[in-house]
Chain A
Amino acid sequence: MKRLAALLAALLVAPGALAQDAKKEIEKYQRMINDSSPAELFELEGESLWKKPQGPRNVSLERCDLGMGPGVLKGAYAHLPRYFQDADRVMDLETRLLHCMTTLQGRTREEATKRVFGNEDKPSEMELLSAYIAAQSRGVPMQPGGAHPKEIAAYELGRKLFFYRAGPWDFSCASCHGEQGKRIRMQELPVLSDPASARPVVATWPAYRVSNSQFKTMQWRINDCYRQMRMPEPNFASELTNAVNMFLTTTGKGEPYRGPGTKR
């Protein structure tokens, strides 16, 4: 037993030391890809899409009210998710855009959600619009809604969902995002239930992913996590995804938005 304990002790130190400078080098990599990132391209394309008349009513989204008045973009993303009186529910950016596509442009929900997640050959409307709109909140502290009863309920539901273990692999979000200093392979795992760890994440999503040259949104992020949790697929813009998003954004609120980010 003594030999084993000594060996285990040595092991615990060795990987720790390696991890430290690996962490430093990966942070350098992240800084460098943020300096020279093609994310701007998505913002530009998103702007032209925001202004492009579409749908049976042949109207652009420029009159869409993202919570700060019709067409107001400055800081709008930083105040989402929030409660919207006209829809009587809590909405994040993509959910609100879908609302405007159906109510302003007269598009059917089915058509507007046919392709919500794109690929590197063809990004989706939601991805391009998210890039442009999020960019208009640069420098504005993240401040999602938190006073309305439905906002509080969304946060509470999101918090429970974050810790709720289910599915064939018994995972919850906290299974991976629950303990400080943990990694999946070389991927650092922020503890998203801890404000200090959640703030830099919330301030840099949505983001451009260098690994597949795609621009990714929060709805995709939550969708893809449930995929890796071996769960069935969450409905796009559902109450469930908005609740998880509300919990994450509220936990990480207060940090000035500095996205869209560039990630692995």
Chain B
Amino acid sequence: MADPMKIRTTVGAEFTEVRVLMVHPMETGQRKDSSGNLVPIHFIQEMSVKLNGRSVLEGQISQAVSRNPVFSFRLKGAKAGDKLEIAWLDNRGERNRSETAIA
């Protein structure tokens, strides 16, 4: 599951808007696949947003977040070139991490 996340940053006067699109099925364990068997529960549990190495936002999420999650956050004091890191951990212990410079 190491599909890259799609991160987009827009630096504004008061804050920098961060929009991140993650690739994850976020299975509730209730869905049946095309051949009728229940797809086991599988979802991102924890995520973190770091600016220049320092954690600025931590999230705990559940299977009630939609498939291929899309989040928007707002960070204060971020400027172009700062290092932005977003990471997640799912209930199967799979991890993903993406890094970008604030544009």
- Please tell me if B34 contacts chain A, counting CB pairs below 8 Å: yes
Contact flags (1/0) for A116-128 with B, using CB distance below 8 Å? 0001110000000
Q: Quick check: B6 and A44 within 8 Å, CB to CB? A: yes
**Chain B at the A interface: mostly helix, strand, loop or mixed?**
loop
With contacts A121-B25, A213-B68 taken as known, whether A40 is within 8 angstroms of B6 at the C-beta atoms is: yes
Q: Quick check: B33 and A41 within 8 Å, CB to CB? A: no
Near A by CB (< 8 A), chain B positions 1-48 give 3, 6, 19, 21, 23, 25, 33-34
Nearest-neighbor residue (CB-CB) of A208 within chain B: B68
Q: Quick check: B23 and A41 within 8 Å, CB to CB? A: yes
Contact flags (1/0) for B64-98 with A, using CB distance below 8 Å? 00111010100000000000000000000000000
B6 contact set on A, CB distance < 8 A: 40-41, 44
With contacts A119-B34, A213-B67 taken as known, whether A41 is within 8 angstroms of B25 at the C-beta atoms is: no
**A95 vs B66: C-alpha distance in the bound complex, in angstroms?**
33
A213 contact set on B, CB distance < 8 A: 66-68
Q: Quick check: B70 and A38 within 8 Å, CB to CB? A: yes
Give the interface size bracket for A toward B: 10 to 19
**A53 vs B32: C-alpha distance in the bound complex, in angstroms?**
34
A40 contact set on B, CB distance < 8 A: 6, 21
With contacts A40-B6, A41-B6, A44-B6 taken as known, whether A121 is within 8 angstroms of B33 at the C-beta atoms is: yes
Nearest-neighbor residue (CB-CB) of A45 within chain B: B3
B72 contact set on A, CB distance < 8 A: 36
**A120 vs B3: C-alpha distance in the bound complex, in angstroms?**
16
Chain B interfacial residues counted at CB < 8 A: 13
Most buried by A among B21, B23, B25, B33: B21
**A41 vs B33: C-alpha distance in the bound complex, in angstroms?**
21
CB distance from A211 to the nearest CB of B (A): 11
A210 contact set on B, CB distance < 8 A: 66
Q: Quick check: A41 and B34 within 8 Å, CB to CB? A: no
**A40 vs B6: C-alpha distance in the bound complex, in angstroms?**
9
B19 contact set on A, CB distance < 8 A: 36
B33 contact set on A, CB distance < 8 A: 121
Binding site for B on A (CB under 8 A): 36-38, 40-41, 44, 119-121, 210, 213
Offer 22 A-B interface pairs, CB within 8 angstroms, sorted by A. A36-B19, A36-B70, A36-B72, A37-B70, A38-B67, A38-B68, A40-B6, A40-B21, A41-B3, A41-B6, A41-B21, A41-B23, A41-B68, A119-B34, A120-B25, A121-B25, A121-B33, A121-B34, A210-B66, A213-B66, A213-B67, A213-B68
- Counting from the closest, the 8 A-B pairs by CB-CB distance are A38-B68, A36-B70, A213-B67, A119-B34, A38-B21, A40-B6, A41-B68, A38-B70
